[in-house]
Structure 1
Amino acid sequence: MNYATQMEAARKGIITKEMEAVAYKEQVSPDVLRELIGQGRVVIPANKNHTSLDPCGIGQGLKTKINVNLGVSKDCCDIEAELEKVRWAIKLQADAIMDLSCYGKTGEFRRRLVEISPAAIGTVPIYDAVGFYERELKNISAREFLGVVEKHARDGVDFMTIHAGVNREAVARLKKNPRLTNIVSRGGSLLFAWMAMNDQENPFYEFYDDLLDLCRHYDVTISLGDACRPGSLRDAVDALQIQELINMGELTRRAWERDVQVMIEGPGHMALNEIVTNMLLEKKLCHGAPFYVLGPLVTDIAPGYDHITSAIGGALAAAHGADFLCYVTPAEHLRLPTLDDMKEGIIASRIAAHAADIAKGVPGARKWDDEMSDARRRLDWTRMFELALDPEKARLYRSESMPENHDSCTMCGKMCAVRTMNKIMAGENPL
């Protein structure tokens, strides 16, 4: 193999087996895909050590992808329960799974996750640092943070959230421009605290070139984390968010110079009318790199329903440039999600992603809807269930309330508009 990363291969004119697989699934030309990867507008997160991977592409012209967060915490440290979530996430067609484990020795769960998952695996190494070194955050050295990154890379992680954009300049910006909710990113707050306690620069910013060496060696895609994302509508599109975005654009160019693939992470909480502008800003300031958004959540008042507030924002964001949606569950802001919460979050995100793909004209997206409409016209319930985003739930609802006439439902019965039109068009009496 005479290339280190997918980006280097693309720039050398090589179409890798991962590119071939993605091109086939996306119904795009392998040469077009290769060109987009070489430009940094598409990434294929594919660590050389993730042997069970079924590669997916994220970026311009491709289907909107969704990510599922899971992992163990001190209060909920059940590895088997989280692995069951992994199996369900794969069954429900999540494109990526992020292990956000933040308690104890997380390596066992991470390695088992990589072993069984055909989906791309992401992590946030700083979450693991305290448990990995069994030391207080303040006493971890700058270089030791890179040691955790290397461990995750060796374990086969395909992409990592690295909060390299929250440097001393950004910290100063926050102090001059107070926020309602400060920093709500877990990784961002840890780095902010470490920088304050040690009076040092962000280690991922200071030693960014060394980080790039590690990522290049294993072909890990950097997901530049938005440490300064808004955690409330009030804080959206403020000086701190824009400052970090400018920093991430500069870091993106530096990564591309080393043939390292990059994604950009984005907001967060944001009013509906600000989303389109933010998508344009990110793509402009970060040179067209794929954009990975959490939500955006379009209101702050719906705990228990944030999978809905997120899907509303996610659909609009993806329709105007976001490429990758991080799912949000009904448990957001409240607790570690249960298996049922995870299912709700995945379905909501997949609806948002598909709605955006229709708007973007992604190949094949509209065809699915046309097939469903045709099955409805024919009152072909079996085919409707086959095409449903969640066939299990659709079948359950139908079985719980069966109509007198099999070619209708209990909402309208014989007065079903579709049934009426079918019979009239066939010259029959509908009633």
Structure 2
Amino acid sequence: MTYTTQMDAARKGIITKEMELVSKKENIDVEVLKNLIAEGKVIIPANKNHKSLNPEGVGEGLRTKINVNLGISKDCCDIEKELEKVKTAIDMKAEAIMDLSSYGKTEEFRKRLIEMSPAMIGTVPVYDAVGFYDKELKDITAEEFLKVVKKHAEDGVDFVTIHAGINRYTAEVFKRNKRLTNIVSRGGSLIYAWMELNDKENPFYEHFDELLDICEEYDVTLSLGDACRPGSINDATDASQIQELLILGELTLRAWERNVQVMIEGPGHMTINEIAANVMLEKKLCHGAPFYVLGPIVTDVAPGYDHITSAIGGALAASYGVDFLCYVTPAEHLRLPSLEDMKEGIIATRIAAHAGDLGKNIKGAKEWDDAMSKARQALDWEKMFELAIDPEKARRYRKESLPAHKDSCTMCGKMCSMRNMNKVMSGKNINMLREDD
């Protein structure tokens, strides 16, 4: 029996090789996984032309995945430097990489990225349109926008961010409800500007069926972008954001009718107390589709530390049911991230994802923490390094400050609680002021 997409296969009762691999990774029964894919609650972004892909599942009951944004810009257009970041991101176990290139040889970078990456690859085709056609935004036609999506699909992109929810009605809601930071989504602002300049409907909304044709042909997952995501805590959960979410829910059902896999992108900036409600709204209004969020960034006043503000929000969001976290680096709002910025962003986001998995009782999550606790109790430093989310940093910190007694550290020395409890509970004496017996 043939199938077009992972969702089509699941609905026909077919277990694909991608489902089998994800089932083993997640320790989930493959029949359960297949049913979740059929319902749209789990996706496996896996373009038929991405030959190096090691597939991952995203959605209900699975580990929270993380995405790393990379790509060249007009001010920073060194392809080799970006590919170095790609290699590092893969080594650091990022499950997804989004190519956000917006200038120059985007096709060369994208093709090399797809060829080398076992991680799933995402793009925002509208970023590429201006450079692809060497035309001003206003002069690009709806047909040309779709051709760029088709090109990315042919190249092997696993998911595409499409800002189809900011239609003319959503735009009117935005105009009537003033914001501090207007539209901060880069892709969303480009679509809004195109609509205003041409006095026309959003081409991706108007030609949504043609977009689904492309996604169905290559099994490209549709990541429905949040053009109206809040760019400040003041703008969170406002009329524009919720109106767009309503449209995204309707588009989700239309995509599922064509067996096209969907995830929903979410905010953005918001205070801690709004995160749970936002997750509930997305899951309700978008029918349980996987939720992919940037942050949320929980305060606006920490440039240079937004990997922390994002990790706080991301951990909470994941614990409430978010499925996919987009990393945020210390360079957010300031510059294109350096290699070191990227590393810090990945680690912060992986911590947030794992903390969220503990909160929603994902199978296997607590076992990792329990193993670390046992290693700490046993003062097994090598095992601690092996289990650490960042083994390199853990090893470096210990090496930089070695204790007099190898079964302790330079914080506590012979007052180490682990050391002393081990001795006392095994019937031994504790010597604080002299050498051990």
User: Hey, what does 2:25 align to over in structure 1?
Assistant: 25
Counterpart residue identity of residue 320, structure 2: H
1:398 to partner: Cα distance: 0.2
Partners of 1:429 and 1:162 in 2: how far apart? 67
1:321 to partner: Cα distance: 1.2
User: Hey, what does 1:404 align to over in structure 2?
Assistant: 404
Counterpart residue identity of residue 329, structure 1: T
User: Hey, what does 1:224 align to over in structure 2?
Assistant: 224
User: Hey, what does 2:328 align to over in structure 1?
Assistant: 328
2:363 aligned with 1:363: yes
2:105 aligned with 1:102: no
Counterpart residue identity of residue 116, structure 2: I
> In the alignment, is the contact (CA less than 8 A) between 1:419 and 1:430 conserved in 2?
no
Partners of 2:282 and 2:137 in 1: how far apart? 31
Counterpart residue identity of residue 21, structure 2: A
Partners of 1:267 and 1:239 in 2: how far apart? 14
C-alpha distance after superposition, 1:217-248 (max 9, x if no partner):
00000000000000000000000000000000
Partners of 2:227 and 2:176 in 1: how far apart? 17
Identity %: 72
CA-atom RMSD in angstroms:
0.5
Partners of 1:38 and 1:387 in 2: how far apart? 35
User: Hey, what does 1:287 align to over in structure 2?
Assistant: 287
Task: Summarize the alignment of residues 51-130 of structure 1 with structure 2, pairs less than 5 Å apart.
Answer: 51-130=51-130
1:394 to partner: Cα distance: 0.2
User: Hey, what does 1:264 align to over in structure 2?
Assistant: 264
Partners of 2:146 and 2:267 in 1: how far apart? 26
Equivalent position SS for 1:180: coil
Counterpart residue identity of residue 249, structure 1: G
User: Hey, what does 1:213 align to over in structure 2?
Assistant: 213
User: Hey, what does 1:183 align to over in structure 2?
Assistant: 183
1:104 to partner: Cα distance: 1.7
C-alpha distance after superposition, 1:120-173 (max 9, x if no partner):
000000000000001111110011000000000000000000000000001100
Q: How many residues align?
A: 431
1:359 to partner: Cα distance: 1.0
1:425 to partner: Cα distance: 1.0
Unpaired runs of 5+ in structure 1?
Answer: none
User: Hey, what does 1:170 align to over in structure 2?
Assistant: 170
C-alpha distance after superposition, 1:347-406 (max 9, x if no partner):
000000001101111110000000000000000000000000000000000000000000
Partners of 2:201 and 2:214 in 1: how far apart? 20
1:105 to partner: Cα distance: 2.9
The more displaced of 262-271 and 420-429 is 420-429
> In the alignment, is the contact (CA less than 8 A) between 1:173 and 1:239 conserved in 2?
yes
> In the alignment, is the contact (CA less than 8 A) between 1:314 and 1:325 conserved in 2?
yes
Partners of 1:32 and 1:10 in 2: how far apart? 10
User: Hey, what does 2:434 align to over in structure 1?
Assistant: none
> In the alignment, is the contact (CA less than 8 A) between 1:26 and 1:63 conserved in 2?
yes
Counterpart residue identity of residue 316, structure 1: L
Counterpart residue identity of residue 23, structure 2: A
Partners of 2:278 and 2:174 in 1: how far apart? 19
TM-score under structure 2 length normalisation = 0.98
Equivalent position SS for 2:67: strand
Equivalent position SS for 2:157: coil
1:426 to partner: Cα distance: 1.5
Partners of 2:272 and 2:98 in 1: how far apart? 26
Partners of 2:253 and 2:430 in 1: how far apart? 66
Partners of 1:190 and 1:156 in 2: how far apart? 24
User: Hey, what does 2:2 align to over in structure 1?
Assistant: 2
Partners of 2:106 and 2:77 in 1: how far apart? 10
Task: Summarize the alignment of residues 131-210 of structure 1 with structure 2, pairs less than 5 Å apart.
Answer: 131-210=131-210
C-alpha distance after superposition, 1:308-363 (max 9, x if no partner):
00000001001011100000000000000000000000000000000110111111
User: Hey, what does 1:254 align to over in structure 2?
Assistant: 254
TM-score under structure 1 length normalisation = 1.00
1:429 to partner: Cα distance: 1.6
Partners of 1:183 and 1:66 in 2: how far apart? 24
Partners of 2:389 and 2:45 in 1: how far apart? 25
Equivalent position SS for 2:397: helix
User: Hey, what does 1:384 align to over in structure 2?
Assistant: 384
Equivalent position SS for 1:307: helix
User: Hey, what does 1:373 align to over in structure 2?
Assistant: 373
C-alpha distance after superposition, 1:33-73 (max 9, x if no partner):
00000000000000000000000000000000000000000
Equivalent position SS for 1:418: helix
Equivalent position SS for 2:299: coil
Partners of 1:231 and 1:281 in 2: how far apart? 19
